[in-house]
Structure 1
Amino acid sequence: MTLDARRLQIFLAVAEHAGIGRAAAELGLTQPAVTRALHRLELDLGAPLVERHSTGVRLTEFGRTLLPRARSIEEESQRAVEEIRTMQGRGRGTLRLGAVSSLLAHVLPRAVDGLLARHPGMEVRIVEGVEDRLVEALVAGEIDLAVSGELDADDRVAPVGSLRWRDHVVVVAAGRHPLREHPGLELADLVPQRWVMPPRRTEPRRTLVEMFRRAGLEAPRVTVTTRSITALKALVADAGFLSVMPRPLFSAERAAGTIEALAVPGGTRARRFGVYRRRGGVLPLPAEALVEELRPVIVAVAGEPRQTTTPPR
């Protein structure tokens, strides 16, 4: 059975607005037309998709299951049209890219610059986030590529070829933090300090735990959790917190003397980075073009990576 694209579009509008009337207004249809299309989609699937109540509608269990797939179908349709227009010279193409902050400050600017030099009409949309959010964005179709710390490949996310490289994550503190005067500083001395970190189940947080575990220590208690790199840096530089960061992420602060690596044995960990895509489906042409630009940049940053295969189509 093939689902009708127009009915899926109407279902998405109903889900977004949680109401028949609001969806009809957005689509320029009458409420009865929206109701009929929704009812026919339910008949096609043999399951109710929405429940009506006094203030609108809510999705059923079946509707919630269909929603991400309907979004994916809509996104793929739009991208197919966009790519064909680009190939015909009637469109410019859009790269939807997600990345962790350190790579936005270090690796990606050069790759994006090269991409736009070769494809000056292309548009680039960048989402910044830590690994768990990037996986969510990939799966939801909000981005086509994620450039981040190592992700666990599963039935949703796959690496692109073998574009992988290493950097280093270090314990950081303010340039004038009192610990810098501590003779014979050890990781154990850092446990009672105040720490600011990204959330659990992110690569920086796992790095922190592993760093202390290897020294036979319990990881320190994280006092402040934030996804904001601006807040994290401010708490380190101005409020005496400790954190762990890849070196490129605080290069400007290091030059200014406000944040610096803390010289402590065991306070440096290698971190792997890679390029990831949604598993299955077609990698859009703008994403393929960025992959080609990334290779020489990665070579310059970290040395020759392993042989890169052609991105899967």
Structure 2
Amino acid sequence: MTFDLQYLVAFNAIVSSGSLGRAADALNVTQPALSRTIRRLEEQAGAPLFERHSKGMQLTDVGRALQPHALLLQRESEHAKEDIKAMLGLAKGTIRVGAVGSIACLVLPLAIGSACKKWPNLQVQIIEGVWDRLADALVSHEIDLALGVDIEDTDEIVAVKDCRWEDTSYVVAGRRHPLRKKAKLKLADTLQERWAILPKGTGPFEHMKKVFARENLTLPNVVVETRSVTALKSLIGRSGFLGWMPEPMYDAERKAGLIDALEIPGASDKRTLTAFRRRAGMLPGPSIKLLEELRSLTAQRL
């Protein structure tokens, strides 16, 4: 069974927009023309792909089965065109990468800076988020590389085994936090303080929980849970909250005298970080260039 790529592009546009009219506007074609295109694709598939409703277009079971393959074929075609044009000097290549907060704060900017210096025509698109957001973006082809905490491979996502490094997380506080005046500070002394941290279920929260369990302690008084790294830093540096952060995430604030680790024996822990890619398909050329810089940079950090 052979599918016309332009038909798949039309199919993906309808799935993305949820309606024939919005998809036609996005593709700059008329609704009747787009409707004819979808009928031809349904003829190729041998079954209806959409159920037409007054409120929009909904996928049939066959349409849902086709969707991931249609998206993959469109993305791979776009990557191939982009790579060829970049090699011919006709267009700029684009790096599409996602990273957890600590990597987005230090390692990723260093790698991007080095890559863009060597290949000035490169452009970069970055998303920052917790792992579930990055994994979804990687599978959906929104990004081509995801940088995060090392976990087991899945059916769709695999780690780049020769690109991994470590960082260390600490209990952190503002430079003027009252606990800094306490002699022989212990982890138990932080239990009743106000904490701000990434939400339950995220890597940093689970990492922090492991450290407290290791000391046979209950969880601290978590008052604020947020996915905003900016908000976390402000709460810790300016509003008296404690937090749990890997050192690269607060490196700039440490140098500025706003945030630093509390000197507590046993209140730190290492984690391994790595790059991830999709199991299926080729890695686009621009992302390969970034991966080369990450390998070089992280090899120096181990």
Tell me how many residue pairs correspond in the alignment: 302
Q: Which residue of 1 aligns with 2:125?
A: 125
- Trace 1:265-304 onto structure 2 (pairs within 5 A): 265-300=265-300, 302-303=301-302
Shift of 1:287: 1.4
Q: Are 1:149 and 2:149 counterparts? A: yes
Query: CA offset at residue 61 of structure 1?
Result: 4.7
Q: Write the distance in 1 (CA, Å) between the matches of 2:124 and 2:20.
A: 34
Of 4-13 and 226-235, more deviation after overlay is shown by 4-13
Contact 1:139 1:157 in 2 (8 A): yes
**2:108 & 2:140 partners in 1: Cα distance?**
22
Alpha carbons of structure 1 residues 262 and 83: separation in structure 2 relative to 1, 3 Å: same
Structure 2, unaligned runs of 5 or more: none
Aligned ranges for residues 1-313 of structure 1 at < 5 Å?
Answer: 1-300=1-300, 302-303=301-302
For residues 29 and 113 of structure 2, the distance between their equivalents in structure 1, rounded to whole angstroms, comes to 43
Q: Distance in 1 between matches of 2:60 and 2:196?
A: 40
Aligned partners of 1:223, 1:42: CA distance in 2, in Å? 53
Q: Which runs of 5+ in 1 are unaligned?
A: 304-313
Secondary structure at the residue paired with 2:160? strand
What displacement does 1:241 show?
A: 1.5
Distance 1:150 1:50 in 2: 39
Separation in structure 2 between the aligned mates of residue 61 and residue 193 of structure 1, nearest angstrom: 52
Secondary structure at 1:132 match in 2: helix
How far does the alpha carbon of each residue in 1:125-173 deviate from its partner, in whole angstroms, 9 at most, with x for none? 2222222221111111111112222233111111113211111000111
| CA distance in 1 between partners of 2:26 and 2:8 (Å) | 15
User: What SS does the corresponding residue of 2:249 show, helix, strand or coil?
Assistant: helix
Q: Distance in 2 between matches of 1:225 and 1:202?
A: 11
TM-score by length of 2: 0.91
Q: Aligned partners of 2:275, 2:16: CA distance in 1, in Å?
A: 31
Aligned partners of 2:181 and 2:60: how far apart in 1? 61
Structure 2 Cα separation of the partners of residues 233 and 39 of structure 1: 53
1:205 and 1:43 map into 2 onto residues whose CA distance is: 50
Distance 1:10 1:265 in 2: 59
Q: What is the one-letter code of the residue matched to 2:150?
A: E
1:22/1:149 CA distance change after superposition, 3 Å: same
Structure 1 residues 71 and 168 mapped into 2: Cα distance closer, same or farther (>3 Å)? Answer: same
CA distance in 1, matches of 2:63, 2:217: 47
Letter in 2 for 1:231: A
Report the Cα offset of residue 95 of structure 1: 1.1
Q: Verify the 8 A CA contact 2:14 2:23 in the aligned structure 1.
A: yes
Identify the range of structure 1 (264-273 vs 46-55) with the bigger mean alpha-carbon deviation.
46-55
Shift of 1:229: 0.9
> Cα distance, 1:64 vs. partner?
4.1
In 2, the alpha carbon distance for the partners of 1:107 and 1:101 equals 10
Distance 1:73 1:221, change over 3 A: farther
Task: Tell me how far apart the structure 1 counterparts of residues 69 and 31 of structure 2 sit (CA, whole Å).
Answer: 24
Q: Secondary structure at the match of 2:165?
A: strand
